[in-house]
Amino acid sequence: MRKLEPLEIYKHSITYAEKTEIPICTINEKLRKLIELEASWFIEHYQETYEPHWKENEETNAFMGLVGQKAFEIILQKELIFYIPNDPLTSRVYYKNYDFYIPNIGTVEIKTIPSYGWNVIIKQSEYHGNDYMVAWQMGKENLSMVGWLTKKEVESYPITPKGATPQTRIASARVIPMKKLHDPKTFIEKLKTDTALHLR
């Protein structure tokens, strides 16, 4: 009987589509359900432990953010990339300065946008100047990495004042069109070639 290899299952659950307007890396529906279950569990645990007073859309945004973080973590595990997560469960701090630290790469912030979104919204109050920003999109069926930017590229976008546009109705933010992001596959290749602690 063949040994069960979870990482091998991950490999069959992640695909790359380049013949689209925006090249994407997609996690299939079954793996997405597992990710969403874990994110829901954490949200429930957080509410029971800290009793947060959620403002408009905050619970939804927190859930989406956790989904994107877990999806990126699965990519790192699949590619055998060494990483240090700034896990809110272990650090006991929900609002943190980065989502992942990867040796020889730097800090990575994950942003997750809804299925109907065409822009990555980076609120000024939540921007921490990470070395890289990686964007995910929650589609109706799948979960996709849609691209990335460096810190310098993120900061090249102006801060749009609160209320100036529909995208900044709630807070001042940088509004970055999804089509301006780099191909996600190039970031994964960068991870594989730049980190000295890659295990292969």
Model confidence pLDDT, tens digit, residues 58-75:
888 889 999 999 999 999
Tell if the pTM clears 0.75, that is, is over it: yes
Sheet holding 119-123, edge to edge: 119-123, 173-177, 159-160
**What's the pLDDT at 117?**
87
Residue 198 has pLDDT above 80, yes or no: no
**What's the pLDDT at 2?**
62
How high is the mean pLDDT of the chain? 84
Residue 54 has pLDDT above 70, yes or no: yes
Residue 182 has pLDDT above 90, yes or no: yes
**What's the pLDDT at 20?**
61
Residue 22 has pLDDT above 70, yes or no: no
List residues bridging with 122 in a β-sheet.
Answer: 174
Please check whether residue 147 is in contact with residue 135, taking contact to mean a CB–CB distance below 8 angstroms.
yes
Which residue shows structure tokens 């063949």?
2
With a CB cutoff of 8 Å and minimum separation 6, the contacts of 54 are none
With a CB cutoff of 8 Å and minimum separation 6, the contacts of 112 are 64, 65, 67, 68, 135, 136, 137, 138
Per-residue pLDDT band at 92 (split at 50, 70, 90): low
Dihedral angle sign, alpha carbons of residues 104, 149, 61, 146:
negative
Who has greater pLDDT, 176 or 33? 176
Who has greater pLDDT, 41 or 9? 41
Residue 126 is encoded by which pair of tokens? 């939540």
Q: How far apart are CA 50 and CA 124, in angstroms?
A: 24
